[in-house]
Amino acid sequence: MNSTIPTTTQPKAGSTPVARLEVQGLAKTYGHGPKSVEVIKDLTFSIHAGEVVCIVGPSGVGKTTLLKCLAGLQPSSGGTMKIDGHQVSGPPAEMALVFQDYSRSLMPWLTVEKNLLLPLRHLHLPAAEVRTRIEEALNEVGLSHAAKRYPWQLSGGMQQRVAIARALAYRPEILIMDEPFASVDAQTRFDLEDLCLKIRDELGMTILLVTHDIDEAVYLSDRIVAIGNKPAQVLEVLPVDLPQPRNQITSRALPEFSGLRTKVLSLIRQSES
């Protein structure tokens, strides 16, 4: 693990892309012997600084296992993962994780601001900086007014914004999200997707998102890692050339958008049959 205090401004993906996160031959098998289950066979991909990359695959393909391995919550059975060229074991300090299930990842006994404070405590930052980080993060997700409320007093979309704000206040260099918008309504989902793109643009964060929603993947990504088959392996890494900034109405109406969607969908369908 290298430096614990990440910088907030990263060069945007552009002329000279740097591999921020490099996954090489990642494999995961549960159990031993004849009863063992191979969930992930071989995953190889890399993410450049400031990129938004979506991992798309059919449900039950082992996306959550993959994420747990990436976040260092679970040991992998093979392969390597490197951040800026350094191999990682345990949970990397420069990484934050947003779970799909916001109601379970937020602590119900803590107010919104205390939830944001929770992961910051062990960083031992000056009190003033902690305060600024929390205020800025809540402001970023538009929840400054809800600082003193409890998560369970908020709607699902607001709770997921709290979970995102908690990740932002932690100032990770890499943000990993596990189907973060799967359990919110369609309108909130669009808002949260745009929030995701906004924090990338403003804070230069590198974002890895796991989803089963192909439209969402096409809309958000700079590149899509399509995975399929049991055990999971990379089918193809597709660049998404839609113009930036993305727009929920115009970007989704582009012919390239539906072209990409068709391509990803048929890739995944093929792998299933």
Partner 1 sequence: MKRSSTVPSRRDGQTLSQKPGNQNEARGINYESPAAKFGFGILGAVLLLGLWQFAAIRGTFGNGLPTVSATLIELFALFGNPEFWTDTFTTIWLAVLGMVIAVVAGVMLGLLIGTIDWVRYATLAVTEFFKPIPPIVVLPLCVMIWGPTNTMALALVLLGTVLSTTIQVIAGVNDTDPVALSTARSYGMGRVERLLRVTLPSASPYIGTSVRIGAPAALIIVVVAGLLGGAPGLGSAIYRSQSAGDFPQTYALVLVLGVLGLVAQNLSSMIERRVLHWHPAFREDVK
Name which position in 96, 175, 208, 214 contacts partner 1 (CB under 8 A): 96
Name which position in 160, 168, 170, 232 contacts partner 1 (CB under 8 A): 170
Give the span between the Cα atoms of 237 and 239, in whole angstroms: 7
Contact segment (CB under 8 A) with partner 1 among 50-58, 118-126, 205-213, 231-239 equals 118-126
Closest distance between partner 1 and the C-beta of residue 24, in Å? Answer: 21
CB atoms within 10 A of CB 40: 25
Q: Helix, strand, or coil here: 272?
A: helix
Name which position in 9, 11, 30, 73 contacts partner 1 (CB under 8 A): 73
Phi, psi values for residue 218, rounded to 5°: -65, -45
Name which position in 121, 127, 241, 255 contacts partner 1 (CB under 8 A): 121
Name which position in 60, 91, 243, 245 contacts partner 1 (CB under 8 A): 91
Exposed (0-12), middle (13-18) or buried (19+): which is 15, by Cβ within 10 Å? exposed
* Binding of residue 75 to partner 1 (CB under 8 A): no
* Binding of residue 108 to partner 1 (CB under 8 A): yes
By the 8 A CB rule, do 241 and 230 touch?
Answer: no
CA distances from 202 to 8, 9, 11, 117, 220 (A): 9, 8, 11, 22, 15
* Residues forming beta bridges with residue 239, ordered by sequence position: 223
Written as six digits, the tokens of 34 are 């004849």
Phi, psi values for residue 44, rounded to 5°: -135, 120
Contact segment (CB under 8 A) with partner 1 among 64-72, 81-89, 220-228, 232-240 equals 64-72
**Alpha-helical regions (H) of 118-185:** 127-140, 156-169
Closest distance between partner 1 and the C-beta of residue 58, in Å? Answer: 23
Nearer to partner 1 by Cβ, of 50 and 72: the residue is 72
Q: Helix, strand, or coil here: 243?
A: coil
Taking the CA atoms of the chain, what radius of gyration do you get in angstroms?
18
Name which position in 33, 35, 59, 104 contacts partner 1 (CB under 8 A): 104
Contact segment (CB under 8 A) with partner 1 among 76-84, 94-102, 234-242, 257-265 equals 94-102
* Binding of residue 124 to partner 1 (CB under 8 A): no
Residues that bind partner 1 (CB under 8 A): 4, 68, 71-73, 91, 93, 95-97, 99, 101, 104-105, 107-110, 118-119, 121-122, 150, 152-153, 155, 170
